[in-house]
Chains A and B, each alone.
Chain A
Amino acid sequence: MKMDLIQPFIGSLDAVLAEMMHEPASIADLAMEEDGYRRKGLAAEVTFKGQIEGRIILDMEPRAAAKVASYLAGADVDPSEPMVSEAVSELANMVIGNAVTQLNDRGFQFKVFPPALLTQEQCAKAGSDSEATVLCFATACGNVYLNIAMKYHARRSRERSPMAVA
Chain B
Amino acid sequence: MKQFEPLSRKDQQPVRYLIVDDSVFARKSLAKMVESFGGQVAGEAGDGCTAITEYARTKPDIVLMDITMPQMEGIEAVERIVQEHPEARVVMVSSVGYQDNILAALQKGARHFVQKPVKPDALYEIIRYVLNDDAVPVGATEAK
Interface residues, chain A, with chain B CB atoms under 8 Å away: 16, 19-20, 69, 72-74, 83, 86-87, 89-90, 93-98, 100-101, 104-105, 112-114
Contact = CB atoms under 8 A, between A and B. Distances in A.
A20 B29 CA distance: 13
A160 B94 CA distance: 27
Contacts of B95: 93-98, 101
Interface in B57-84: 68-70
A86 B101 CA distance: 25
B96 interface: yes
Nearest to B100: A104
B117 A16 contact: yes
Interface string B10-54: 000000000000111110110010000000000000000000000
A130 to B, nearest CB: 23
A44 to B, nearest CB: 10
Interface string B91-115: 0001111111100000000000001
B28 to A, nearest CB: 6
Query: What is the predominant secondary structure among interface residues of chain A facing chain B?
Result: helix
Nearest to B1: A74
Contact of A72 (B22, B29, B70): B29
Contacts of B24: 83, 86
A90 B70 CA distance: 14
Contacts of B115: 98, 101
A87 B117 contact: no
Contacts of B29: 72-74
A101 B115 CA distance: 10
B116 interface: yes
Given A87-B25, A93-B116, A101 B68 contact: no
Given A72-B29, A114-B68, 10 more contacts: A72-B25, A72-B28, A73-B29, A86-B25, A90-B25, A90-B26, A93-B68, A96-B95, A100-B96, A105-B99
A28 to B, nearest CB: 23
B22 to A, nearest CB: 6
Given A74-B1, A90-B25, A19 B96 contact: no
Nearest to B73: A114
Contacts of B26: 72, 90, 93
25 contacts: A16-B117, A72-B25, A72-B28, A73-B28, A74-B28, A74-B29, A74-B32, A83-B25, A86-B23, A86-B24, A87-B25, A90-B25, A90-B26, A94-B117, A98-B115, A98-B116, A101-B96, A101-B115, A104-B98, A104-B99, A112-B96, A113-B68, A114-B22, A114-B69, A114-B70
Contacts of B101: 104
Contacts of A100: 96, 98
Contacts of A87: 25
Contacts of B69: 114
Nearest to A96: B95
